Chain A
Amino acid sequence: MSPGRYLPIYIALLLGAMAVPAQAATIQITMQDLVFAPAEVSAKVGDTIEWINRDVFAHTATARNGDFDVTMPPKKTVTSVLKKAGAIEYYCRYHPNMKAVLTIAP
């Protein structure tokens, strides 16, 4: 039972911890009275967006470049995980006057 026996495990855990990037965050974006808030959000690949629809209308968050397209039923919250980096302009397909920007760092 020498401490050295556990050393490889410690090293493995340490390396494992180092390999994991900064912890993924959960970011909330709300839709209320046909407005995305906040209108500009910065996030990272791997972060989760909680799309909170407070309206009685269905909305979508549709990336202009096609990277994501999330549909939120009235009064519901939908989550999605960011997979690709980029400065993404998105809008609601049902109400294209709703626009916002999501900047996703790699």
Chain B
Amino acid sequence: MFVRLSAAIAALSILGSPALAQGAKPTDPQIAHIAYTAGVIDIAAAKQAIDKAGNKDVKAFAQDMVRDHEAVNKQALDLVKKLKVTPEDNDTSKALSKQATEKLAELAKLKGAEYDKAYVANEVAYHKAVNGALETQLIPSASNAELKSLLQTGLKIFQGHQQHAEHVAAGLK
């Protein structure tokens, strides 16, 4: 479990590392790409859970994730279009996607209650990591006010998801 949790955190902590240019903060096009990618990852995980989860609360949680993250990402797309910003792929987005693909493959091998627990535990850890990145890196680095405000709404939504996931996890014990 420790290894799995640290994978998501490691990807996001790249933000604070030299990997993202020599100490330079991410640009708005990069931030938009990272935030959008983070949403896409959670939607993919949720779709897998809708298929695989046995517990009805876990399934319902996964449906909530698809609905909310699609709504956030639609807003993000509308905003970048309005601002005429082209989201720019970057090392953080790449690392996030790579680790998410590995995580999906790992979860795909699990079944029943074991899967349910692993999915929800990963959702708690993943939202925690994304929220940390939003608070300490992405929101402070965003220059455009509308992008900053969307990220702030995103943070509130994802903090809600983290609490919701923790609640579902507690119910599985």
Contact = CB atoms under 8 A, between A and B. Distances in A.
Contacts of B19: none
11 contacts: A34-B153, A34-B156, A58-B67, A74-B71, A94-B164, A95-B160, A96-B160, A96-B163, A96-B164, A97-B160, A97-B163
A92 interface: yes
Nearest to B164: A96
Interface in A61-101: 74, 92-98
Main secondary structure of the interface of B (DSSP, over half): helix
Contacts of A74: 71
A33 B157 CA distance: 9
A33 B67 contact: no
Q: Nearest 6 A-B pairs (CB), nearest first?
A: A95-B160, A34-B156, A96-B163, A56-B71, A97-B160, A97-B159
Interface string A25-58: 0000000011000000000000000000000111
Nearest to A93: B164
Interface residues of B, number: 15
Assign chain A's interface to a size class: 10 to 19
A57 B68 contact: yes
Contacts of B75: 56
A51 to B, nearest CB: 17
A78 to B, nearest CB: 17
